[in-house]
């Protein structure tokens, strides 16, 4: 992710400091960041802080002597692949909505042809004011994007909507627009992720070591490509990607019920969850007390969700995962055929650098036509990109 430029317009509000976090994340992706600060924004955080993180000079005044022979608001407007107004106060929203261009930020917004995203942050009464809401709706009708503010305790002590959206959500929203492709536009994608659990008693259960990282990366990539994404997830510690419908489940049975609820209306189904294959034959309603001897439990097979979907599928593209500790290619191919899949992703769970919990993966794709693609170690998000490239080929 490089050769992109985001121009961030910082207007005056208590949430100004959060713009620094967003800049830091963007720079880590090698995205160029240019900053424009309004006069009031400089009362909260100095331009030097933004200069240090963005590694570029900060523009603060339309009438500063230019560092090069160029009209700055025009050059920044042309340079931008995306403009982000963060935080966006009622003042800057109102200016743009009514065609007022009286400072560096408002004139640059007027001059750019890049997508413009506003991240509002203000007192809840201001945000709910009909004038502000009318200005927001007016800008939306012109194609400007808005990141909805969160609800919570505001700096003024009030409770309500108006708090700046979470930094991670803002960052993901920017990436979604900056690198958006539309090859899944209008498609519904269903993804399962994480482990499931099999309860033993009210206290104990068995599960596996899946963290859900791969499935969540797949959901993020599907969203970036324009799909309508539903993510059915077992217990994880990962925040769901912005703009993805999340359904939390615990057991095999719960996952099966949710998957079947959405399956018929889905175009692409990717079963990356590590679903428990076995459950206890009998569940104890009371906590099993510790005895003197060993505790013996009897297990029975649980539902094979992927096989059910393979039998049920009509026009859906069905993708499975094979987490293997030996004979990876052979076992993955057998699973592909047995469960009537269109594509299977095989990975070696014994690999030290790409096993459970890793941010990276090393996989093989095998299609139902027998084509094989081996990927070297790469981030799980990169694997997700390659996966959808393969799916697009199947989809034609």
Q: Give the residue extent of every domain in the chain.
A: 5-179, 188-393
* Catalytic residue (choose from 74, 131, 156, 288): 156
**What's the mean pLDDT in 306-334?**
94
The pLDDT confidence band at residue 178, using thresholds 50, 70 and 90, is confident
pLDDT of residue 256: 97
pLDDT of residue 259: 98
Q: What is the pLDDT of residues 15-64, one digit of tens each?
A: 999 999 999 999 988 899 999 999 999 999 999 999 999 999 999 876 55
The pLDDT confidence band at residue 75, using thresholds 50, 70 and 90, is confident
Would the annotation count 277 as a binding residue?
A: yes
Backbone phi and psi for residue 4, each to the nearest 5 degrees, phi listed first = -120, 150
pLDDT of residue 1: 44
7 bridge partner residues: 34, 83
**What's the mean pLDDT in 243-253?**
96
Q: What is the pTM of this model?
A: 0.77
Whether 188-393 and 5-179 are alike in CATH topology: the answer is yes
**What's the mean pLDDT in 7-13?**
94
- Smallest CA-to-CA distance from 37 within 11, 13, 71, 7 is with 11
pLDDT of residue 306: 97
Q: Is residue 5 flagged as an active site residue?
A: no
- Smallest CA-to-CA distance from 357 within 206, 164, 208 is with 208
pLDDT of residue 180: 75
- Contact between 308 and 245 under an 8 Å Cβ cutoff? The reply is no
**What's the mean pLDDT in 154-181?**
84
**Rounded Cα gap, residues 175 and 358, in angstroms:** 23
**What's the mean pLDDT in 248-255?**
97
Would the annotation count 166 as a binding residue?
A: no
Helix extents (H) in the chain: 16-28, 47-54, 72-79, 90-97, 104-111, 124-128, 130-141, 167-178, 213-224, 252-263, 305-312, 328-338, 380-395
Would the annotation count 356 as a binding residue?
A: no
β-pair type (363-367, 343-348): antiparallel
| Long-range CB contact pairs, 55-63, < 8 A, 24+ | 55/27, 56/32, 59/34, 59/35, 59/104, 60/36, 60/104, 61/104, 62/103, 62/104, 62/107
pLDDT at 73 over 90: no
- Contact between 56 and 26 under an 8 Å Cβ cutoff? The reply is no
- Smallest CA-to-CA distance from 323 within 175, 213, 163 is with 213
pLDDT at 355 over 60: yes
**Fold observed for domain 5-179:** Rossmann fold (3.40.50)
pLDDT at 325 over 60: yes
Q: What is the pLDDT of residues 191-236, one digit of tens each?
A: 999 999 999 999 999 999 999 999 999 999 999 899 999 999 999 9
The pLDDT confidence band at residue 353, using thresholds 50, 70 and 90, is confident
Residues 6 or more apart in contact with residue 157 via CB below 8 angstroms = none
Residue for token pair 């743009």 = 96
DSSP 306: H
Share of the chain above pLDDT 90, in %: 73
**What's the mean pLDDT in 158-168?**
86
pLDDT: which is higher, 323 or 68: 323
pLDDT at 66 over 70: no
Helix (H) or strand (E) holding 203: none
**Rounded Cα gap, residues 56 and 36, in angstroms:** 11
**Residues belonging to the chain:** 396
DSSP character string of 227-269: -EEEEEE-S-SPPPPTT-EEEE--SHHHHHHHHHHHHTT-SEE
Backbone phi and psi for residue 227, each to the nearest 5 degrees, phi listed first = -75, 160
Residue for token pair 């004139």 = 107
**What's the mean pLDDT in 320-330?**
91
Cα maximum dimension of the chain:
85
Candidate from 95-104, 291-300, 327-336, 354-363 with smallest mean pLDDT? 354-363
Q: What is the pLDDT of residues 114-141, one digit of tens each?
A: 999 999 999 999 999 999 999 999 999 9
Candidate from 140-144, 180-184, 382-386 with smallest mean pLDDT? 180-184
Residues 6 or more apart in contact with residue 358 via CB below 8 angstroms = 213
pLDDT at 69 over 50: no
What integer best gives the mean pLDDT of the chain? 91
Would the annotation count 180 as a binding residue?
A: no
pLDDT at 354 over 70: yes
> Helix, strand, coil proportions of the chain in percent (round to 5)?
35, 25, 40
pLDDT at 13 over 60: yes
pLDDT at 188 over 60: yes
Would the annotation count 113 as a binding residue?
A: no
pLDDT of residue 190: 98
pLDDT of residue 155: 67
The domain 188-393 belongs to what CATH superfamily?
CoaB-like (3.40.50.10300)
pLDDT at 271 over 50: yes
């Amino acid at each position: 992710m490089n050769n992109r430029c985001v121009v961030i317009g910082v207007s005056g509000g208590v949430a100004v400091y959060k713009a620094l976090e967003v800049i830091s994340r963007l720079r880590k992706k090698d995205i160029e960041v240019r900053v424009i600060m309004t006069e009031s924004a400089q009362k909260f955080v100095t331009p030097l802080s933004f200069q240090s993180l963005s590694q570029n000079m900060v523009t603060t005044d339309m009438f500063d002597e230019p560092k090069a022979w160029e009209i700055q608001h025009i050059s920044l407007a042309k340079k931008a692949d995306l403009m982000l107004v963060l935080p966006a106060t009622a003042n800057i929203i109102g200016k743009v909505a009514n065609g007022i261009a009286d400072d560096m930020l408002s004139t640059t917004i007027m001059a750019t042809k890049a997508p413009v995203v506003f991240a509002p942050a203000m007192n809840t009464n201001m945000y709910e004011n009909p004038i502000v809401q009318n200005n927001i709706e007016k800008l939306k009708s012109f194609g400007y994007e808005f990141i909805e503010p969160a609800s919570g305790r505001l700096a003024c002590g009030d409770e309500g909507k108006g708090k700046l959206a979470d930094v991670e959500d803002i960052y993901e929203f920017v990436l979604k627009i900056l690198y958006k492709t539309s090859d899944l536009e209008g498609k519904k994608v269903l993804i399962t992720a994480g482990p499931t659990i099999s309860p033993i008693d009210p206290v104990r259960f068995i599960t596996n070591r899946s963290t859900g990282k791969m499935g969540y990366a797949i959901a993020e990539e599907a969203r970036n490509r324009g799909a309508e994404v539903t993510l059915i997830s077992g217990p994880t510690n990962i925040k769901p990607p912005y703009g993805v419908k999340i359904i939390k489940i615990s057991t095999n049975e719960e996952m099966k019920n949710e998957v079947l609820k959405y399956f018929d209306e889905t175009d692409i189904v990717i079963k990356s969850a590590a679903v428990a294959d076995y459950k206890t034959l009998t569940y104890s309603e009371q906590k099993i007390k510790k005895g003197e001897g060993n505790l013996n439990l009897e297990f029975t097979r649980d539902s094979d969700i992927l096989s059910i979907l393979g039998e049920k599928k009509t026009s859906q593209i069905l993708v499975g995962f094979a987490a293997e500790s030996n004979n990876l290619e052979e076992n993955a191919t057998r699973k592909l055929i047995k469960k009537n899949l269109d594509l299977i992703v095989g990975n070696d769970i014994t690999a030290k650098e790409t096993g459970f919990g890793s941010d990276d993966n090393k996989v093989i794709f095998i299609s139902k036509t027998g084509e094989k693609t081996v990927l070297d170690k790469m981030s799980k998000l990169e694997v997700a990109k390659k996966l959808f490239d393969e799916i697009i080929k199947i989809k034609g």
